Structure 1
């Protein structure tokens, strides 16, 4: 009997019809093979993490004091990194079981393996979709709010004045002005396609850090600086905790990065996760410490607004923030689109995509046991049967739905951003639920469920992370509800 040709090889004689995949299918497999580098994966994950929330870290440090601020930031980073690591381990189980060939890792797939099909997986998808959509809209609102201010700053630098009623002061104009950049990027199918825009966004973060550090060491502390304390406790101290916890949210893009990483191993995934999380933590720590030392307790929730508007370097920094949030929009649109597709897959009928036939794998039943799928951390993270790298995902989005959902997300997002000036209250509740679910609760419970028969303490640490997520979500929701009733707390007093 002739041995079937391996993937990537060409048979010496034409195979009989129906025996092997057609050349067209082979070409499609090649198109979808993972090809993202570690640098590309780091750029996209780090850009997902670092957003405009970085500007609030000096105020968070001012609310709790220097030492608690530093420690809280490191603890938040470590819990987030552990959650991402758990998800990367859960991803290795996807596409391995018979009948799952060709499937790619996603929250939906892991939830299906952990808890089975049902309404639970749809609730997870809905939470992620709402969270990502809300954040993407907030990015557009930031752009339309900051760009008129940047225009005034540059006009002042060039000794001109923008007349009242000018389109340069119109938020609607600047909102539409972002569309030629944001909309095309939103139609990218993979995160790897966004690596260059992520690197541009990260360069603006680096510039902002340089400005904050350079200003402090060249100009010194602000003459009107408030007091700087090592620790404090007051009404705003607890309010600063969610700022740091949610500043590391990026789990919505962990699975796309896993699927796209070339020659992926657990060591590569660990490198991507560790460098992204702790690189972001370094940025937050520097901004928090130096910003707090510069302005003390008088620092605002947007540290860049504390610097003189007539400074050219500060004006560039403000423009950099616009680039940061604007170029981060597609990183929220991509997981939002995927979750909406999975939510509607049973409602909106379309052409079904059958799993790609897997090559014959002659291994014993013992070798296919779930525990053997874990492997060594140095092993290639490629399923033994039906590798997702060798073909489209079983849930790959058809072109018409891809375009339709993308248009819907963009149009709805721009419409809300045009009609609304702030989403603070809504985002507070969305972050309290969506961010904690995908960062702590699901990673912990997924791992505990899928690896419950594995020896060691990791599964118990995973369960503890899930419980921690439930506690954080309860605390943040309670705090948000109290804020609605009583309003923001007054400035706290050092102890």
Structure 2
């Protein structure tokens, strides 16, 4: 638990500092577009680096949303239809369902030129996250621990007909004496290498900071930083509470996708079903919003001087959605996408690009100033995080078989 608290605190502070660098660079560099800052700093290479990182980050976000559809929609259908035997039923296959949702719901919404419902979907997503957090906290006090103890007791009673029922409390006491219900403050294993990249991924908001800054009434860097501090603190608190109560509910049994853990271990009740429906609705409506900046970035890179074409617009949209569906179908777990994108694109957007843009474009400060030295240290930290995380993740892929968790 302390490990999560330390990592969350460090990553959130670093992310907030990078927003500070980005806003200051935007004022000095004379542009409120991330890609344009890259072009002013390093020409076409800088523009491609910024655009590519934003595209990868958004594809990672899309993949995470579609992963939720893939793993949660079959459980919702199964619960609503009260189906016990799922053998051979195509409509309970997550791969088929994610393709169906993409074609029937996501693609038509993504083909729209303007996404006027952006504010509604963002608000709905936030409400769903708050609702999910409340349920996670409540379930901590409803689910007995350890689950492993109950399984051992049931197995013992079923296999030993001579087992006196009076010994069950003693058996439960003996099982609970092990580590099943004791929190481990620091855990290091093959999955720990994903912690920093996933947390970095979760705090990336930098491509949206400059457009929001541009739209801010009575715009000032101080006011935007105050908005950022409030937003980062709210996200920090929600991530911390969800991680803390999720871990204290299942301990070492918690899976990569927390909501799926409830179905695996304790089944589905009406409250969890409502949570699943709300989350599925939110992520389905959010995917077209995430496609929009990817398509804009690709169009700007390839066809910046050409007039709008529905054929080109549709082709880019279908290609993005098809590629993301392939990732979701063939990548074993959501953890792999979070880890890879977090170690590459997220590290670029949080650490490397803001610091390099600041060093290059802010001319009024010398390289020996405290501000520039801080940016240089931040850049080196980002390179270390990126290379270290990528190396460890690749080693984990090579030497460890894909996990069964979602």
- What's the TM-score, normalizing by structure 2? 0.78
Contact 2:183 2:248 in 1 (8 A): yes
Give the aligned partner of residue 378 of structure 1: none
Does residue 168 (structure 1) correspond to residue 86 (structure 2)? The answer is: no
Asked if residue 350 in structure 1 is aligned to residue 306 in structure 2, the reply is yes
Residues 144-188 of structure 1: CA deviation (Å, up to 9, x unaligned): 3321122112333xxx55765445314324532354543354356
Task: Give the aligned partner of residue 79 of structure 1.
Answer: 14
Q: Is the 8 A contact 1:126 1:343 kept in 2?
A: no
CA distance in 1, matches of 2:240, 2:328: 31
Pairwise mapping of residues 182-331 of structure 1 onto structure 2 (< 5 A)?
182-187=106-111, 193-219=117-143, 221-224=145-148, 225-307=180-262, 308-331=266-289
1:289-310 CA deviation, whole Å, 9 max, x = no partner?
1122222233222222332223
Answer whether contact 1:143 1:322 (CA < 8 A) is retained.
yes
Name the count of aligned residue pairs.
366
Query: Which residue of structure 2 lines up, in the alignment, with residue 106 of structure 1?
Result: 33
- Does the aligned pair in 2 maintain the 1:107–1:255 contact within 8 Å? yes
Quickly say closer, same or farther: Cα 1:207–1:179, change in 2 above 3 A.
farther
Residue 478 of structure 1 is matched in structure 2 by 391
- Partners of 1:475 and 1:460 lie apart in 2 by 22
Q: Which residue of 1 aligns with 2:352?
A: 441
Cα pair 1:252 1:335 within 8 Å, conserved: no
Q: Deviations over 1:317-353 (max 9, x none)?
A: 233332343233234312212321232147xx525xx
The gaps in structure 1 that reach 5 residues or longer are 1-65, 97-103, 352-396, 491-495
Q: Is the 8 A contact 1:309 1:315 kept in 2?
A: no
- Against the structure 1 CA distance between its residues 420 and 290, is the aligned structure 2 distance closer, same or farther, given a 3 Å change threshold? closer
**Distance in 2 separating the partners of 1:257 and 1:287:** 27
1:92 is paired with a residue whose SS is helix
Per-residue CA distance 1:52-102 (angstroms, 9 max, x = gap): xxxxxxxxxxxxxx21211111111111121122222222345x4xxxxxx
Structure 2 unaligned residues grouped into runs of 5+: 149-179
Distance 2:402 2:313 in 1: 44
Q: Which residue of 2 aligns with 1:429?
A: 340
Which residue of structure 1 aligns with residue 80 of structure 2? 154
Residue 284 of structure 1, CA deviation: 1.0
Q: Quote how far apart the aligned CAs of 1:229 are.
A: 2.4
Contact 1:108–1:125 (Cα < 8 Å) also in 2? yes
Is the contact between residue 85 and residue 273 of structure 1 (CA under 8 Å) also seen in structure 2? no
2 CA distance for matches of 1:256 and 1:193? Answer: 17
Cα deviation, residue 424, structure 1: 5.7
Deviates more, 1:274-283 or 1:215-224: 215-224
- Any conservation in 1 of the 2:200–2:346 contact (CA below 8 Å)? no
Higher helix share: 2
Q: Which residue of 1 aligns with 2:160?
A: none
CA RMSD of aligned residues (A): 3.2
Task: Answer yes or no: is the 8 Å Cα contact 2:18–2:350 preserved in 1.
Answer: yes
Q: Distance in 2 between matches of 1:457 and 1:477?
A: 30
SS in 2 for 1:454: coil
